[in-house]
Amino acid sequence: MTTIKSPQTLGETLRAARKGLGLTQPKLALAAGVGVRFIVDLEAGKPTVRLDAVMRVIEALGGVIRIEGLPSSGNEVST
């Protein structure tokens, strides 16, 4: 598990995952349904990327987002 505290860390983490899976930026973009420019910006740590598209990229890489340390209502949300 990686702790993400900045857009740069998120980009570096996703780039490492993509390379670890042997994917090119164009192949990841196709799998996630986003443009190659989006992948380039995301991996560069651009802070203004769209959250829905980021989540599709993470899913295409086989990852999930988990949030820890926030108050909980007691309801577990799972997809």
Determine the pLDDT at residue 17. Answer: 95
pLDDT in tens, the chain (79 residues): 788 889 999 999 999 999 999 999 999 999 999 999 999 999 999 988 799 999 999 999 999 988 888 887 665 555 5
DSSP-assigned letters across all residues of 18-42: HHHTT--HHHHHHHHTS-HHHHHHH
pTM of the model: 0.80
Determine the pLDDT at residue 16. Answer: 95
Q: How far is CA 56 from each of CA 34, 49, 64, rounded to the nearest angstrom?
A: 8, 12, 10
> Which of the 8 DSSP states describes residue 76?
-
Determine the pLDDT at residue 77. Answer: 56
